[in-house]
Amino acid sequence: MATETLKAFDVQRVRADFPILGQQVHGRPLVYLDNAATTQKPQIVLDALTRYYTAQNANVHRGVHHLSQVATEAYDGARTKVRCFFNAGSDREIIFTRNATESINLVAQAYARPKLQPGDEVLISAMEHHSNIVPWQLVCAERGAHLRVAPMDDRGELMLEEFERLLGERTRIVAVTHMSNALGTINPVADIVRMARARNVPVLIDGSQAAYHMPVDVQALGADFYVATGHKLYGPTGIGVLYGRESRLEAMPPFLGGGDMIASVTFEKSTWNELPYKFEAGTPHIEGAIGLGAAVDYIQSVGLDGMAAHEQELLAYGTQVLEAIPGVRMIGTARRKASILSFVIDGIHPHDIGTIVDREGVAIRTGHHCAQPVMDRLGIPATARASLAMYNTREELDALGAALHKVIEVFG
């Protein structure tokens, strides 16, 4: 079955769906390996955005006129697509936000803030993106609570026993990434959820990286909150997703106030709209949601299993290519990882690596990848990071390898 899916995955056919990949950069074919920062968009997403503004544009949920109904149907239809993509139980559990960062802030402010008492704890992991650290720091500082950090080992694997030890009587929420953007580590989120739920502690999983590399089933996972960001899911920027268990969302106060999130308003008192609108104040990013709906349709049409197998094969190949280059050291060697090739080269600053390979048409990212504590833990200031998506090929990884040989020639 898996082999059948794999056979059906045709990377050249997939590439043809992404117009930007045909570009030349500095006179070389573009090799786009910065997918962990943002992915490129298939034509079907671009078409959905154009169609929205040429034929559907109106504000949603407010008009009786035809176009408003068309736009509302398209917007709410996108929610249903996203709900199916994550296998949530109801559209009421899918909140559209601006990005993953806003989704996490929403939970920190509307779930954690009213609950946290002085001395309470929020438990995260050592490999979080800044957007799953800072919102908790803000809310902990305000409420006199403490941020606890479950450590990782030298390969970049979460130390699960330590995590369990830190899960204490005062833990009020766990917030952990499904997949590290700096290292590629896939965390044992099912175990994390099981351990936390056994102690009645709710769990937020940051799926910003995982959601475009592997199938995610929020009901099977059992997390209370699952967060994703549209621009990594082959969709537009400015649109994010918060899945929340309905009972949790019902019990939470609103995050932002304004139009659309209310049922009634008087100067004395306002009441809140039903889910999911209670958490969507103001005119939403209508075309962003529609574009994201088209993107998840696209991912499903390609097939998540075949895509994941292709990327795993590329990850193994890319690791070989990089390890064969003298002086290259891989950063992040977890046994379960996906699509991230982070590395350093002895004596050469990652920024110089990035600049030279760019001249060869190869786009990679260099720096701390918004995960400074990961760099501190590993005792390095930065890495160079090549990150994969469904449209990458072995030839592109060979091009990265060749470009890195040039880097070594220049600096060696």
Ligand X SMILES: Cc1ncc(COP(=O)(O)O)c(C=O)c1O
Q: Taking CB under 6 A as the rule, does residue 100 contact ligand X? A: yes
Which candidate, 260, 240, 244, 257, places its Cα nearest to that of 72? 260
Q: How far is the CB of 62 from ligand X (least distance, A)?
A: 28
3-state secondary structure string across 354-406 = HHHHHHCCEECEEECCCCHHHHHHHCCCCEEEEECCCCCCHHHHHHHHHHHHH
Q: Which is nearer to ligand X, 39 or 273 (CB)?
A: 39
Q: What is the rounded CA–CA span in Å between residue 103 and residue 412?
A: 45
Catalytic residue list contains 370 = yes
Active-site pick, 58, 160, 281, 370: 370
Q: What is the rounded CA–CA span in Å between residue 383 and residue 303?
A: 31
Q: How far is the CB of 384 from ligand X (least distance, A)?
A: 16
Q: How far is the CB of 262 from ligand X (least distance, A)?
A: 26
Q: What is the rounded CA–CA span in Å between residue 135 and residue 131?
A: 7
When binding is defined by CB under 6 A, the residue of 105, 229, 383, 387 that contacts ligand X is 229
Q: Which is nearer to ligand X, 56 or 99 (CB)?
A: 99
Q: How far is the CB of 1 from ligand X (least distance, A)?
A: 30
Q: Taking CB under 6 A as the rule, does residue 129 contact ligand X? A: yes
Residue 329: strand pairing partners: 344
The tokens describing 224, both together, are: 């209370």
Q: How far is the CB of 370 from ligand X (least distance, A)?
A: 6
CB 373 within 8 A of CB 358: no
For ligand X (CB under 6 A), the number of binding residues is: 13
Task: Give the interface segment with ligand X, choosing from 48-56, 127-135, 185-193, 302-310 (CB under 6 A).
Answer: 127-135
Q: How far is the CB of 132 from ligand X (least distance, A)?
A: 6
CB 175 within 8 A of CB 123: yes
When binding is defined by CB under 6 A, the residue of 35, 39, 72, 99 that contacts ligand X is 99
| 386 Cα distance to chain centroid | 16
Q: Which is nearer to ligand X, 9 or 85 (CB)?
A: 85
Q: How far is the CB of 389 from ligand X (least distance, A)?
A: 13
Residues 371-400 close enough to bind ligand X by CB under 6 A? none
Which helix (DSSP H) or strand (DSSP E) does residue 31 occupy? strand 31-32
Q: Which amino acid is at 369?
A: H
Q: What is the rounded CA–CA span in Å between residue 178 and residue 257?
A: 30
Q: Which is nearer to ligand X, 11 or 227 (CB)?
A: 227
Question: Which residues does 396 contact at the CB level (< 8 Å), separation at least 6?
Answer: 31, 33, 362
Task: Give the interface segment with ligand X, choosing from 56-64, 80-88, 97-105, 143-151 (CB under 6 A).
Answer: 97-105
Q: Which is nearer to ligand X, 227 or 290 (CB)?
A: 227
User: What binding mask, one character per residue, do residues 139-178 give for ligand X by CB under 6 A, x or -?
Assistant: --------------------------------------x-
Q: How far is the CB of 206 from ligand X (least distance, A)?
A: 5
Which candidate, 185, 159, 174, 296, places its Cα nearest to that of 226? 174
Main-chain dihedrals φ then ψ at residue 337, nearest 5 degrees = -145, 165
| Residue whose tokens read 């970049």 | 156
Q: Where are the alpha helices (DSSP H) in 90-129?
A: 100-106, 113-115
Q: Which is nearer to ligand X, 208 or 342 (CB)?
A: 208
Q: Which is nearer to ligand X, 171 or 177 (CB)?
A: 177
CB 228 within 8 A of CB 208: yes
Task: Give the interface segment with ligand X, choosing from 128-136, 137-145, 277-285, 349-357 (CB under 6 A).
Answer: 128-136
User: What binding mask, one character per residue, do residues 174-213 give for ligand X by CB under 6 A, x or -?
Assistant: ---x---x------------------------x-xx----
Question: Which residues does 169 contact at the CB level (< 8 Å), separation at least 6?
Answer: none
Name the CA dihedral angle for 182, 183, 188, 189, rounded to a multiple of 10 degrees.
Answer: 10
Q: Which is nearer to ligand X, 212 or 391 (CB)?
A: 212
User: What binding mask, one character per residue, do residues 27-46 give for ligand X by CB under 6 A, x or -?
Assistant: --------------------
Q: Active-site residue numbers?
A: 370
Residues that bind ligand X (CB under 6 A): 99-101, 129, 131-132, 177, 181, 206, 208-209, 229, 370
